[in-house]
Amino acid sequence: MPYDVSATYDAFGNMQTQQWQHVAGDTPPSGFTFALSYGTSPSAVTNRVQADANFKYDLNGASTRAPSPTGGQTSMLWDPQGRLSTFYNGTPEQQNPPTERYAYDAGGFRVVRWPESGDGRPLISIRAATGRTTTEYVADPNDRASHTESRECVCGGLTDRRTSSCGESTTLTANATMFQNSTFGFAIAGGDSSATYSVDIRTTQGYENHLAGIAPDANGVFWIAESALASGQRNWVSVRKESATGEAYSNVVVANYNASLTNYAANQVRSISVSRSGTDIIIRWKLLQENGKKLRVYFHQSGSGEAVLLTPDGLVSGTTQYLLSDQALASPCGYFDVKQTSSTGTNETGASPSVTLQPSGPMGCLEVGSAMRS
């Protein structure tokens, strides 16, 4: 039979009481029911548990010692940003080993928990842009036979449930030409020119396509017919080497195109892609026909809806890519597109097809700021 837990809080969010209710006559677990009192202001000095010497705090007001529900003490260590980094059942002064350690993304959300006193297998959390946990999985460092983990990643509404090996994978980008003769061009770095590759394509609208026997040239370049991708949708494209052992998938390149674009359209950007190479984000596009117009690259933030103009002065006619250098490995919580203007920067057109970028693991949101440059 489940039990009910209720709690009360003060104006600053401190839990003052916790109550436990189950079958009549049952007693709650040790330490489960409690009542605490706090200071009357939210300062680091006064907003603390009062009249209990078992609670101790650092200069920032973070709790460093608290009583354990089973007796004794627990201890907490905090990083310079005020995030819990290590938890002890006991104290480090008594040479008690850490119970758990934690790591965080750029937004301050916890993404890794290491149970030091248990089996040591880290718990990995995948979070949405809001910080909400969408998926958790346990990485097993002792599973050396296949060394695979099942991941369920969510980005821009797309859930990717592929099982991916943890070894080295190839790096995939759109090649410099990107699009010609109704084909999309891709380039594999670190690939095997004598091997063949499988290509996985999927979109947020449920489109999926799988190609086999793709043979890159000596430079790692290969081409896919545009008909293999869904027009007007953000296509997640990744590759892996065909082998009996099950190679790791590459990173994802996201590509989109407008199959119905005509020569009369004000914005002639027909296809666009975005990919990551290390800490660089590469946006490439191809016009249906050159029209002498300048180009503007935008990033649209998913949370606020704000459109951030990455190229305020515009890019000259004939430019086909934009590079965002030195970007942290973070999830892009938004999407990119390209608009055109006259040569003087007026008469801005509507947007091109748009693309969003795959998260580089369980990290935070892409921060569009001064570090971005072409």
pLDDT for 131: 62
Q: Report the C-alpha gap between 177 and 175 in whole angstroms.
A: 6
User: Which residue in 113, 71, 110, 112 sits closest to 89, CA to CA?
Assistant: 71
* Candidate CATH numbers 2.60.40.1840, 3.30.43.10, 2.60.40.10, 3.40.50.2300; the one for domain 169-255: 2.60.40.10
pLDDT for 302: 73
User: Which residue in 218, 209, 210 sits closest to 242, CA to CA?
Assistant: 210
Q: Is the dihedral of CA 358, 361, 362, 366 positive or negative?
A: negative
Distances in Å between the alpha carbon of 50 and those of 56, 128, 271?
10, 37, 63
Are 108 and 83 in contact by the 8 Å Cβ rule? The answer is yes
Summarize pLDDT for 210-226 with one digit per residue, the tens. Answer: 999 999 988 889 999 99
pLDDT for 270: 95
pTM attached to this predicted model: 0.56
pLDDT < 50 regions, the chain: 1-2, 144-168, 329, 331, 360-374
Summarize pLDDT for 313-369 with one digit per residue, the tens. Answer: 999 999 999 998 766 545 456 889 999 999 999 999 999 999 987 554 433 444 443
What is the tally of helices (H) and strands (E) in the chain?
0, 28
Task: Tell me the domain boundaries of the chain.
Answer: 1-42, 43-164, 169-255
Summarize pLDDT for 83-101 with one digit per residue, the tens. Answer: 888 888 888 777 778 888 8
